[in-house]
Structure 1
Amino acid sequence: MSDLRLVIFDVDGTLVDSQAEIVAAMTAAFAAEALVLPDRQRLLSIVGLSLDVAMARLCPDEPPDRHPRLVQAYKDAYMDLRGADGKGELSPLYPGARAALDALAGQDNTLLAVATGKSRRGLDKILERHGLRGMFHSEQVADDHPSKPNPSMILTALNETGTDARAAVMIGDTTFDMDMGRAAGVRTIGVAWGYHDADSLRPDLLIDDFADLLPAIDQLTGSRP
């Protein structure tokens, strides 16, 4: 039986603080369609969902054919914010994120994965800008899966890495991440610094700082490097 364990990260609100870019891109998308922009709290409440699902939630009374236009306008605005060289507005890593990733990557029995509502293009730009290419053994993006909380992303990551659900943990900041983890049969760690109220997460463990992440993973997977 393999002794490998899989640590799966959400991106927005967990590894990177992307709220400034998300709100700016949403503002541009809604302006392009001459729609009233939802308030900031509502905008951040949909972070983690695939864009098509997110726009339908934000604009339930709009005709369905308007949602794809909002999605495309959002994508265009997001790329414009970064500029032609991809080095414009930047979603910074949260304090301690890089150190935690480096520590986990240095463990022989630990594999890393990403399960994100970002597109492949969006994730690639984040990984490149922060020097994280090659860090993750499995990269699951919204282009290839149903939206969270469907467990497809996690189940695919488990299959790609050959790890057992009992030796895996999902780390995220939203109820979508926690529900996805539970649906896939993996343990969950909620982070208190993200975009959903920490009290709403109901994870197996909740952490307030990246310094607490490695002990939490050890506790839930029952293994140490």
Structure 2
Amino acid sequence: MAVFDVDGTLIDSRSSIFRAAVEAAHAINISPPSYDDVRAIVGVSLFDALAMMRPDLDNETIAAYTHEFQQAFLRFHADPSFAESLYLGAEETLRALKAEGWLMGMATGNSRRGVTRTVEKHGWSDVFDTTFCADDGPSKPHPHMLQCNLEALGVDPHEAVMIGDATHDMRMARSAGVTAIGVSWGFHTVEELLAAGADQIVHDFTELKVWLDAFEPQALSEQKRARY
């Protein structure tokens, strides 16, 4: 089974997430964050992420910041010219893995509304067998949403890989006993991913596919595949 993060892994949302964080800060009259402030917390559920970024703010202010962040994204998506591109090779790799019989999961810090929007926009309803997000339980790096993916499809941890761009993804995978693959093109650096426990670093989707092809025979048995 292959479980994917979304922002920074499949979709290049670096600019839009930073823009939303800055606009939301201005909306509630607090100092705007730097890009490094924002990139450090991407992948964690939004309220927890903003609280992590701004520990000086009380819960009421964090709630307001969260609301304004969400409103910023609603405005972005209401603009017909708004676009967040897929990383080169993402679509082809997802489709190839699915065609080869991989079980496909999603573990993202997005809301359920965001997951639904993403799946519908990219036509991924036939690609992902399971999708779990920040609305489903504890935030990354807690292993909950990854464990939910495994349990939903009856997959053992040693049969799965978690692919993500953030240290939170790597720590979540290690906590769940799942192989952690870090991608170098997202929010966190290679050094940060390795320090967080990445088992492997890949630098593009071609390299990821080669690595997964080598892992596939032990990732999913024919007996288990036949059940789905």
3-state secondary structure, aligned to 1:42 = helix
Matched, 1:43 2:38: yes
Q: Find 2:93's aligned residue among 84, 91, 100.
A: 100
Gaps of 5+ in 2: 221-228
Structure 1 distance, partners of 2:56, 2:218, is: 49
Deviation at 1:221, TM superposition (A): 4.9
Closer, same or farther: CA 224–120 of 1 in aligned 2, 3 Å: closer
CA distance in 1 between counterparts of 2:83 and 2:169 reads 23
- Relative to 1, partners in 2 of residues 1:40 and 1:224: Cα closer, same or farther, differing over 3 Å? closer
Aligned residues: 217
Secondary structure at the aligned position of 2:12 is classed as coil
What is the RMSD of the two structures over their aligned residues, measured on CA atoms? 1.5
TM value normalised by structure 1? 0.92
TM-score under structure 2 normalisation?
A: 0.91
Paired position in structure 2 for 1:169: 161
The residue number in structure 2 matching 1:137 is 129
Q: CA–CA distance in 1 between the matches of 2:142 and 2:216?
A: 22
SS at match of 1:95: coil
Among residues 7, 15, 21, which one is paired with 1:20 in the alignment? 15
Deviations 1:52-109 (A, max 9, x none): 111111211112211111111111110111107xx5522210000011001001012x
Structure 2 partner of 1:91: 84
After the TM superposition, list the runs of 4 or more consecutive aligned residues in structure 1 that deviate by more than 3 angstroms: 218-225
Alignment of 1:63-142 (within 5 A): 63-83=58-78, 87-108=80-101, 110-142=102-134
Picking from 26, 47, 51, the partner of 1:56 is 51
* 1:198, distance to aligned residue in structure 2 (A): 1.0
Question: Contact 1:46–1:54 (CA<8 Å) still a contact in 2?
Answer: yes
Q: What is the identity, as a one-letter code, of the residue corresponding to 1:159?
A: E
- Identity across matched positions, percent: 37
- Which residue identity does 1:104 align to in structure 2? L
